[in-house]
Structure 1
């Protein structure tokens, strides 16, 4: 990262976070994205069992936006999650769209906007 005003204690974290979440974004855009994140989110969101039950889950059409250059949630893991969900609800499989983007998605919104607007058709 090229910003020189980061405290040295923060530099290692920011470098690792950018590598995992948005490795090809410019520094200003990455910092802006970090500023939108909620630091007080309940930790249980990332640790509790959030699997859906086939009897109650899967009735609403589902779309998965897969990020092909994701280093935080690698594509192979995304594919496994998609496959397991589709296996649990075979009559309501994911409509999968792949973006050539890191975990936070493309730095510029146009590719994601195209995917989202296509869902309106």
Structure 2
């Protein structure tokens, strides 16, 4: 019988991969907390890029119109991959989801709530009100966001939210949007690791969550108050909507960071996750 607690499972957001959690997993280990960062469907080692990304000479027009190889990924298909990853651990886990990874984790928690000891959102989308994540892009709480300016293609044409991290001219905007409080060398390294395509289908699929399934999972929301990608006002709307369907109110933690606290404030984020993890252990063994 497995007597060891499951690791915290860390789920990244769009354009990132399991690599972005490296500073946090290191600090969790120092605190005696096991963790596992996974690649979502369409990202990291599961990423596929349009051939136009690699063509030389580079053709911007071709890059802007090439169909995405990950256009078939949806919130449900990505959630099914995550459920399989969680099921392989054999016991319920604390799942931590960042940004658009929150969509995947939300869907997974409805599909398989028995695999979730708790769900922690880190400045993440949590579309629990019956509308797709993309609906919130035009909402008043999202005013001032800086992600849409990074788009290098029309997602209705390519099937993806496509950025161009290989273009040095776009790096200042990427740094400003995701990493404005991250040291420059680390920010540059992160930009070099970004995938170009975020599957459009993750943002356009609406799905239902229920109090009986999703709602029974304990929730924590880490608000990043200086986020320029997902404004704090939108994060707080997500909390209100979670509370409307969950059986108990979400625990709220605030960090004065950008969209990427795993790089700019890994100690503070690790502290917050350690608290959730130890609380879940005490509940399980009580």
Aligned partners of 1:63 and 1:97 also within 8 Å: yes
Change in Cα spacing, 1:28 to 1:22, as seen in structure 2 (3 Å) is same
Query: Are 1:87 and 2:249 matched, yes or no?
Result: no
Structure 1 stretches of at least 4 aligned residues deviating more than 6 Å after TM superposition: none
What is the Cα deviation at residue 120 of structure 1? Answer: 2.4
How many residue pairs match? The answer is: 112
What is the Cα deviation at residue 36 of structure 1? Answer: 4.4
Unaligned runs of at least 5 residues, structure 1: 1-8
Change in Cα spacing, 1:48 to 1:109, as seen in structure 2 (3 Å) is same
Distance 1:85 1:100 in 2: 22
Structure number with larger C-alpha Rg: 2
80, 90, 97: which is aligned to 2:253? 97
Query: Are 1:23 and 2:180 matched, yes or no?
Result: yes
Aligned partners of 2:171 and 2:191 also within 8 Å: no
What is the Cα deviation at residue 40 of structure 1? Answer: 4.8
After TM superposition, the structure 1 = structure 2 runs for residues 40-119 of structure 1, keeping only pairs within 5 Å, are 40-49=197-206, 52-89=209-246, 91-105=247-261, 106-119=263-276
Worse overlay, 72-81 or 54-63? 54-63
Change in Cα spacing, 1:46 to 1:59, as seen in structure 2 (3 Å) is same
Distance 1:56 1:119 in 2: 20
TM-score of the aligned structures, taking structure 2 as reference length: 0.36
What is the Cα deviation at residue 51 of structure 1? Answer: 5.6
Change in Cα spacing, 1:37 to 1:54, as seen in structure 2 (3 Å) is farther
Q: Which has the higher contact order (CA 8 A, sep 6+)?
A: 1
Match of 2:170, SS state, is: helix
Change in Cα spacing, 1:36 to 1:50, as seen in structure 2 (3 Å) is farther
What is the Cα deviation at residue 96 of structure 1? Answer: 1.1
In terms of fraction of residues, the more strand-rich structure is: 2
What is the Cα deviation at residue 114 of structure 1? Answer: 0.5
